[in-house]
A and B are shown apart, each in its own frame.
Chain A
Amino acid sequence: GQNIDQPTEMTATEGAIVQINCTYQTSGFNGLFWYQQHAGEAPTFLSYNVLDGLEEKGRFSSFLSRSKGYSYLLLKELQMKDSASYLCALVDGDYKLSFGAGTTVTVRA
């Protein structure tokens, strides 16, 4: 099975940087996704990491360390529209997704 941990809530001000950590334990690993989910909507894809290192995509970056069972999502130059839930999701050995509980990010003016 999988065990995925991420903080429940984070608050930051507009223009700031926020880092959302995700730690995991799994018996099979085929990568890790980060999704953004606004209230009442389906998740939307942000990033996918399968190799160690940092993947940068505009204001969002994602990092993975397989040996440490650790990933983070970095959100830079925060905007009000970034207020959402951010889900860490593991791809297991059967290529199924297991989701963390999600981190609710609130961006304040």
Chain B
Amino acid sequence: GAVVSQHPSWVICKSGTSVKIECRSLDFQATTMFWYRQFPKQSLMLMATSNEGSKATYEQGVEKDKFLINHASLTLSTLTVTSAHPEDSSFYICSARSDGLAGVMRFEVTQYFGPGTRLLVL
């Protein structure tokens, strides 16, 4: 199956600092990537959808200026948590999907999940 990696897997930072998380599709071109957040004992909540080369679409209640998403290439998306605070401590998971490329309208169903990044803000 398709492989998606995330880096780092763990990060501990001080309040007020910014943290960048990378999500890479290793063996396929990910035209669409998704960023989820999961608090303990809760399910995954979609934060935003990013398409290569365009601005991310954020879900309601997610601050776009706080969670900066860049999808600069077909294999890499980054999530930057700016001025992180303890309440941002969570498990961040990305997923990748390969839809149709330029000019081809096709939507895949399957999303391939990365292993997740655990963020702890002190």
> What residues make up the interface of A, taking CB atoms closer than 8 Å to B?
30-31, 40-45, 48, 50, 87, 91, 95-102
Contacts and interface: CB of A to CB of B under 8 A. Distances in A.
Nearest to B91: A40
Contacts of A95: 97, 99, 107-109
B110 A45 contact: yes
A31 B107 CA distance: 13
Contacts of B34: 96-97
Interface residues of B, number: 23
Contacts of A42: 93, 113-116
A40 B113 CA distance: 14
B37 to A, nearest CB: 11
B110 A99 contact: no
A31 B95 CA distance: 17
A100 B42 CA distance: 9
Given A48-B109, A96-B46, A99-B45, 17 more contacts: A41-B115, A41-B116, A42-B113, A42-B114, A42-B116, A43-B93, A43-B113, A45-B1, A87-B43, A91-B109, A95-B99, A95-B109, A96-B34, A96-B49, A97-B46, A97-B111, A101-B42
B43 A101 contact: yes
B26 interface: no
A30 B113 contact: no
28 contacts: A30-B109, A40-B118, A41-B115, A42-B113, A42-B115, A42-B116, A43-B44, A43-B93, A43-B113, A44-B113, A48-B110, A87-B44, A95-B99, A95-B107, A95-B108, A95-B109, A96-B34, A96-B46, A96-B49, A97-B44, A97-B46, A98-B46, A99-B44, A100-B43, A101-B42, A101-B43, A102-B42, A102-B43
